[in-house]
Amino acid sequence: MLSFLSLCAPIFAIIGLGWAAARFRMVQPAMVDAVGTFSFHFALPALLLRLMGSQPLGHSFEPVFFAGYLAVCLSIFFATMLLALPWRRRGPAAALGAAAAMGNVGYLGPPLLLPLLGERGAGPIAMAIMSEVAVVLALGSLLMAPAMPGAGLRAMGRALRALLVNPVLLAIAGGALLGAAAIPLPGPVDRFLGFLGGAAGPTALFALGGTLGRLAVSRKLLAVAGGLSLAKLALYPLLVWLLLGVMLQRDGFWVQAGVMLAAMPTASNAFIMAQRNMAAAEEVSATVLLSTLLAAACFPLTAWLVTGPLAVP
């Protein structure tokens, strides 16, 4: 357990550094946004393209894992939404569902999983991004849109167009093609991608912390944020472990990867989507902050459990 804490502590410390820098106005919001843009548009795509392109597609992509992980993701999304519907309209209920189902797999996945699982961990990270970002983002945009004729379809159309030019998804597709064709990257290109991708972790974590520095958890929202954080950090990983490990009997590598990815805190993208659609933005904002704070302790515990007491052979 202590080894997992020592591994995760520096990663969450960088998030804390970004939070403090934004909270005490050592950096301006525009600077945090610029760091996040660099990480999302350049560093993270370079990292995923290089790692996925350097290994056979069958080594990094597992259809059963993808189907199982996506099934749990959608189950969490719709179950949370249905539970909220008696008290909320469709849009806010969908926003709460997204908060429980969308993890920060893009920013936190590489720095947390790659040291634990090695370069092969890029495959599960890519499949989790496709599940939680591509699928839930499109569904959330459709369901959160105002109840006006055609509004949902227009929102989903905008989301799908954004996904088609999403640099992370394009890098995943490019890496998968290189891996499938077994085309090695030329030495200078590999070194360039490695150097650029090396900046993905620190810049993403600092930008995440800076974004959290603008958010707050009010006492009146604590119960909602706590319930959603519990679903995201505990129920989601438990269901992934049950489905992939107990029911589908996947190899230990895939179970560990799936559970740890499911244990990621709520993504800031869920807040941006809720804010854009004016759907439970305050509740989702509080969940992003609270789940990230709790994940500093919960993620090492989950990683220890899934690689020790609850490990699948």
| 3-state DSSP assignment of residue 70 | helix
Dist CA 30 CA 49 (whole Å): 28
Residue 88 has what pLDDT? 84
Closest by CA to 280, choosing from 271, 269, 289, is 271
Residue 1 has what pLDDT? 64
Closest by CA to 33, choosing from 203, 250, 230, 193, is 203
Residue 140 has what pLDDT? 81
Q: Are 65 and 259 in contact (CB under 8 A)?
A: no
At which residue do the structure tokens 């890098």 appear? 171
Domain ranges for the chain: 2-306
Closest by CA to 215, choosing from 263, 275, 140, is 275
Phi, psi dihedral angles at 266 (to 5 degrees): -60, 135
The sign one gets for the Cα dihedral 13, 240, 36, 42 is positive
Phi, psi dihedral angles at 103 (to 5 degrees): -95, 165
| pTM of the shown model | 0.91
- Side-chain half-sphere CA neighbours of 107 within 13 A: 29
Q: Could you tell me what percentage of the chain is helix, strand and coil, using 3-state DSSP and rounding each to the nearest 5?
A: 80, 0, 20
Closest by CA to 278, choosing from 94, 78, 80, is 94
Across 45-79, b (16+ Cβ under 10 Å) vs e yields bbbbbbbbbbbebeebbbeebbebbbebbbebbeb
- Side-chain half-sphere CA neighbours of 266 within 13 A: 36
pLDDT in 10s for each residue of the chain, 313 residues? 667 777 788 899 999 999 999 999 999 999 999 999 999 999 999 999 999 988 888 888 899 999 999 999 999 999 999 999 888 888 889 999 999 999 999 899 999 999 889 888 999 999 999 998 888 888 887 787 665 545 556 666 776 777 788 899 899 999 999 988 888 889 999 999 999 999 999 999 999 999 999 887 777 888 899 999 999 999 999 999 999 999 999 999 999 999 999 999 999 888 888 888 888 889 999 999 999 999 999 999 999 999 877 777 6
What is the architecture, at CATH level 2, of domain 2-306? Up-down Bundle (1.20)
